[in-house]
A and B are shown apart, each in its own frame.
Chain A
Amino acid sequence: MNPLYIYNSLSRQKEKFEPLHPPFVGMYVCGPTLYSEAHLGNLRTYVSFDIVHRYLKFLGYKVRYVRNITDVGHLENDGDTGDDKIEKQAKLQHKEPMEVVEQYKQGYHKILELFNTLPPSIEPLATGHIPEQIEMVEKIMENGYAYDVNGNVYFNVRKYNEDHPYGQLSGRKIDELYNETRDLDGQQEKRDALDFALWKNVPKEHIMKWKSPWGNSGCPGWHIECSAMSQKYLGDEFDIHGGGMDLKFPHHEAEIAQSIGAIKKSPAKYWMHGNMLTFEGVK
């Protein structure tokens, strides 16, 4: 019988699956940002990785499946400007941000159960891992790949790219990325348009804010939570990292850069991406 082969987005080819520490398999999948009900595209991703989870178990592997919930730091337009999606929704609904998350979390779990997906082994929340995220940002700064401007900490993509190639996963070259990048309001303090936020300074009236070495009122950037939580529960290097195709860039690309930037190790051996949905041919 032929062994299991997995299409690895990183190498762009099918590779024989050889876990780092058999019979154990560590798998991290990016979960939802719970500012609204999970939509069908999200569901498809979780069903796809449910198959991976179930099949690895069937093959006899002991799988630790970590799928996070983003409850802070995910800004509108997936970038570094604009409101936090959850904080904004909380204001609209006159609720605590955690109330918004809790409300949609229940619906999310109900749907996943209805669609017969097995629950993950660990479902960590970004707000529950602030110290881990701060520590990782500090390590990246110590290594010279991040800088602080007025309480905002940015990842220095150009500096990183001098030592490690940036864009390996998405297959993008740094020069091409410049052509795609638009100048956005409020990003002038970045040294470079490609840099992304690791820590954000937020107004002190925000509910979701934490003290950090960079100020009294801040919150983590969107990408750092997955790096910090996957490392905490699966180790510096683990087997499979998955998510929807839409997360490949910039989110997963940033995760790889953050881990290498902090501990000089690429987090996952196999990167898997589930494709998107259309309805009657329309995205």
Chain B
Amino acid sequence: MSKSKNNSILPMELINGSHHLLDKAYSAMVVRFFMLQSHYSSELDFSNEALKGSEKGFNRLVESFDRLAGIKPKDPNAEVLQAIEKIESNCAMHMNDDFNTPKTIAELFELATLINKLYDGSLTTDQAGIDKIQQIIQNYFIDILGMKIEKAANSGLVDGLMKFVLELRKEARDKKDYATSDKIRDTMKDLNITIKDGKDGAEVVYNG
């Protein structure tokens, strides 16, 4: 994309959706995911339609990876374990083939389908199987593809809840009810969230 042309887009314009050719904003992780859905040696065409497709795909993966924590280990199933191992070896095979990220991502979609079946109970696996799946997500999705599991859909909710918690704490402090305000701060601390008091009010720092 030539910088001198009118259609050139700056990364920030994608993230805040301010470019006139864009229908909406996209998170950095969705854009990164979109880029990795093409091989680095191929030309990549940005379009509203393609970006929306990647956003949908990215959310589908993250949603299914989130479900993993809710899967209860059951009896081991040799076929399921084999399917998991096949996905892992395919991921390695594709990355070894000149860093083929689109094919690696296709394997992760297979993994998501499998997780969803384990989640709804139509398939079962034991703890070893669940751990293996977790390891594939960590290795390929997070460490190699460099994706962050961000809960795009929930971020507004978390922010809203935190704002509410800070309001409650401020009310307690205004009433000199320090027992309550300290309890809020300590509970947040246990959740790895630091509340810092500054001149312009309290600020939240996520330490996770």
- The answer to whether B147 touches A37, judged by C-beta atoms less than 8 angstroms apart, is no
What separation, in Å, do the CA atoms of A265 and B44 have in the docked complex? Answer: 34
Q: Is B10 an interface residue (CB 8 A)?
A: yes
B contact residues around A51 at 8 Å (CB): 36, 40, 99, 101, 144-146
Chain B contacts with A in 92-114, Cβ cutoff 8 A: 92-93, 95-99, 101
Pairwise interchain contact A40-B1, C-beta atoms closer than 8 A: yes
When each residue 41-79 of chain A gets 1 if its CB lies under 8 Å from chain B and 0 otherwise, what string results? 101100110111011001000000000000000000000
A58 in contact with B28 (CB, 8 Å) = no
| Minimum Cβ distance to chain B for residue A73 (Å) | 18
Query: Within A8-64, which residues are at the interface with B (CB < 8 Å)?
Result: 14, 36-41, 43-44, 47-48, 50-52, 54-55, 58
Question: Which of B11-19, B125-133, B166-174, B186-194 lines the interface with chain A?
Answer: B11-19
Is B45 a contact partner of A276 (Cβ separation < 8 A)?
Answer: no
Contacts of B176 in A (CB 8 A): none
Knowing A51-B145, A278-B1, A283-B5, say if A114 contacts B92 (CB, 8 Å): no
Within the complex, which residue of A5, A36, A116, A280 is in contact with B148, where a contact is CB–CB below 8 Å? A116
- Cβ 8 A contact of A40, one of B10, B40, B47, B99: B10
Q: Tell me whether A58 and B144 are in contact (CB under 8 A).
A: yes
Bound state CA distance, A277 and B35, in angstroms?
10
Q: In the complex, which of the residues B2, B11, B21, B32 contacts A116, with contact meaning CB atoms closer than 8 Å?
A: B32
A281 and B45: CB pair below 8 A?
yes
| Interface residues of chain B: helix, strand, loop or mixed (majority) | mixed
Say whether A55 contacts B2, CB under 8 Å: no
* Interface assignment of A98: CB less than 8 Å from any CB of chain B: no
B43 engages A277 (CB within 8 Å): yes
Task: Specify the chain A residue showing the minimal Cβ separation from B148.
Answer: A116
**B77 neighbours in A (Cβ, 8 Å):** none
CB-based nearest B residue for A8: B98
**How far in angstroms is the closest Cβ of chain B from A180?**
19
Given A40-B11, A111-B11: A277 touches B99 (CB 8 Å cut-off):
no
In the assembled complex, the Cα of A50 lies from the Cα of B35 at a distance in Å of: 12
Whether a CB of chain A sits under 8 angstroms from the CB of B9 is: yes
The answer to whether A39 touches B98, judged by C-beta atoms less than 8 angstroms apart, is no
The residue on A at minimum CB distance from B39 is: A275
Q: How large is the interface on A (under 10, 10 to 19, 20 to 34, 35 or more residues)?
A: 35 or more
Query: Are B96 and A5 in contact, with the CB atoms below 8 A?
Result: yes
Residues 150-173 (chain A) with a chain B CB within 8 angstroms? none
CB < 8 Å neighbour of B7 from A47, A118, A282 = A282
The minimal Cβ–Cβ distance linking B183 to chain A, given in whole angstroms, is 35
- B61 at the binding interface (Cβ < 8 Å): no
Interface residue tally on B, bucketed by range: 35 or more
Give the distance to chain B from A281, nearest Cβ to Cβ, in Å.
Answer: 6
Is B35's CB under 8 angstroms from A37's CB?
Answer: no
CA distance A64 to B45 in the complex (A): 31
User: Does A117 touch B at the CB level, under 8 Å?
Assistant: yes
Task: Please tell me if the beta carbons of A47 and B28 are within 8 angstroms of each other in the complex.
Answer: no
A273 touches B146 (CB 8 A): no
- Interface status of A233 (Cβ within 8 A of chain B): no
Q: In residues 122-167 of chain B, which contact A (Cβ within 8 Å)?
A: 139, 143-148
B196 at the interface (CB under 8 A from A): no
Q: How far is the CB of A124 from chain B (nearest CB, A)?
A: 23
- The interface residues of chain B lying within 8 Å CB-to-CB of A116 are 28-29, 32, 146-148
* B45 neighbours in A (Cβ, 8 Å): 277-281
* A7 touches B (CB below 8 Å): yes
Residues of chain A contacted by B144 (CB below 8 angstroms):
51, 54-55, 58
Q: With A50-B146, A58-B139 in contact, is A283–B41 under 8 Å at CB?
A: no
Pairwise interchain contact A43-B11, C-beta atoms closer than 8 A: yes
Nearest first, the 4 closest Cβ-Cβ pairs linking A and B are: A48-B40, A277-B1, A41-B1, A114-B28
Chain B residues engaging chain A, CB cutoff 8 angstroms: 1-3, 5, 7-12, 14-15, 21, 28-29, 31-32, 35-36, 40-48, 89, 92-93, 95-99, 101, 139, 143-148
26 pairs from A and B in contact (CB 8 Å cutoff): A1-B89, A2-B97, A14-B97, A36-B3, A39-B3, A39-B11, A47-B32, A51-B36, A51-B144, A51-B146, A114-B28, A115-B28, A116-B29, A116-B32, A275-B40, A275-B42, A276-B1, A277-B43, A277-B46, A278-B44, A279-B1, A279-B45, A280-B48, A281-B47, A282-B5, A283-B5
- Since A48-B40, A54-B143 are in contact, a sample of 20 more A-B pairs with Cβ atoms closer than 8 Å, ordered by chain A residue number, is A2-B93, A4-B95, A5-B97, A6-B99, A7-B98, A39-B3, A40-B11, A41-B8, A51-B145, A116-B146, A272-B40, A275-B41, A275-B44, A276-B1, A277-B1, A278-B46, A279-B1, A279-B8, A279-B45, A281-B45
